[in-house]
Structure 1
């Protein structure tokens, strides 16, 4: 039966402390490394369950460690502190993280993608918007409205709100719309229909707005994306 390995990594700005053990508690790594050597050090280790404490850079490092083949877990500080048995320093913190990541009662924070982090930074859980369309409007992905002859008319999209998020959504939508081909999934069928009726630019904006509403719903309901709903 193959051994399982566990590691705690104390994240810092310039130097990182690591403590790793096998499933019998034997120490296989206990040292501090520079930022430049961190990924190389972990790349040369066997696949491990790595524990890190939640902080501003935790999701970035979790994604990087996972790409190296490790099972990376982010933990709140309250789950780590009970396992700190000696004075507080970086190596002792790494030992505590290594202990905490092995415990069955430890709860872990889901690792977030860069996009999800950007959305959370901008809107939190979406409480300030009553509906997904409000979020799309805040991003400037809905058309301006004006009246002529007593009838409401729709103009170009407003382009107000967070430019960076709007740009990401539009570029992502453009990549999808320009590569529809003959795909028959619901997203492609919907996108092709809008493209045929409204043209390229409007189809791109329509998909960007739809994706904004989907993202709001995921954040508001605290759920994960499962399947595209046309």
Structure 2
């Protein structure tokens, strides 16, 4: 019997592999380690391989494609409803196969190694930012017990800690504490700037990045993160689908003739959503000084909505603009509103 689909439940060391015919009949059901999996897949005729989009899935996807197979990655939340019986590797592998056969499943595009490297830099930057914030907050709290209060803001903190590091009136212990935290703070700042410089260099040389950088509120950090995550947006059928995937559209509670819209769903990638909303916040503050269609729309919305609500709505619009421009492969051009001086 010819195997047309191979379903794989990924893990760190032991993998469950099941082969199916075109009619859904199981041909084999194996447990393989990492080395055995690579050899086994090389020996198989070209077929469709389905896996969950999870830990190491993009690596294995690229590996299997290089062997001549066609690979589909399924979002993990779409596999869970198909798990029958007890939770084990065989049932998980069967659920992956059943989910892959559904008509309306949206598969995850396999990321290139370059895309994953950029996302690694973003994750590392987030960790370093958290560590720097933790260091500054801890020092603020510790020195407050000695009557030393830091002003608000990163710049003010940096100036204050520089002053304290050369303050001879402090005790030996406090002086050592301040200098130690200041050294840590500077080291983290240097590492963060180095990552940001690398991200900026990479995205400015990327044609897709140049398109996103032309959009208001999209800086090199946002452009870099989105290009690394979605490429040209080929996984989405429309701008609406992209916005829904980001989790910046309202939740819907509908039954019969009654439909209620709630807050945003917050599905998808939290980091991308956060970065896009931050970008939206930046352009809201300057929208009143401009006369293009986007700025006027933001100004009118701000007059009747709260700042946060306006920021999320603006992020939603930016997401739609991003997807549209990536699909058309063209740069953003501000739309002039007729009759406005």
| TM category, shorter | 0.5 to 0.7
Matched, 1:97 2:130: no
More strand by share: 1
Give the secondary-structure state (helix, strand or coil) at the position aligned to 2:194. coil
Give the secondary-structure state (helix, strand or coil) at the position aligned to 1:109. coil
Matched residues in 2 for 1:75 and 1:20: separation?
A: 17
**Paired position in structure 1 for 2:86:** 87
- Compute the displacement of 1:209 (Å): 6.9
Deviation string, structure 1 residues 51-100 (Cα, Å, up to 9, x no partner): 11121311101111111111111111121112211211112111111121
Give the secondary-structure state (helix, strand or coil) at the position aligned to 2:11. coil
- Compute the displacement of 1:212 (Å): 5.4
Q: Residues 164, 47 of structure 1: CA spacing in aligned structure 2 closer, same or farther, 3 A cutoff?
A: farther
Which structure has the larger Rg over C-alpha atoms? 2
Instruction: Give the unaligned 5+ runs of structure 2.
Output: 124-189, 213-222, 233-325, 331-341
Q: Residues 89, 56 of structure 1: CA spacing in aligned structure 2 closer, same or farther, 3 A cutoff?
A: same
**Paired position in structure 2 for 1:42:** 41
The answer to whether the Cα contact below 8 Å between 1:20 and 1:29 also exists between their aligned partners in 2 is yes
Q: Residues 17, 223 of structure 1: CA spacing in aligned structure 2 closer, same or farther, 3 A cutoff?
A: closer
Give the secondary-structure state (helix, strand or coil) at the position aligned to 2:110. coil
Aligned ranges 1:1-230 → 2 under 5 Å: 5-123=4-122, 160-162=193-195, 165=198, 210-211=204-205, 214-215=208-209, 217=212, 219-220=225-226, 222-224=230-232
More helix by share: 2
The answer to whether the Cα contact below 8 Å between 1:53 and 1:75 also exists between their aligned partners in 2 is yes
The answer to whether the Cα contact below 8 Å between 1:50 and 1:98 also exists between their aligned partners in 2 is no
Give the secondary-structure state (helix, strand or coil) at the position aligned to 1:28. strand
Larger relative contact order (CA 8 Å, sep ≥ 6): 1
Matched residues in 2 for 1:71 and 1:64: separation?
A: 11
TM-score (norm 1): 0.57
Bigger mean CA offset, 3-12 vs 81-90: 3-12
Question: Root-mean-square deviation (CA), in Å?
Answer: 3.5
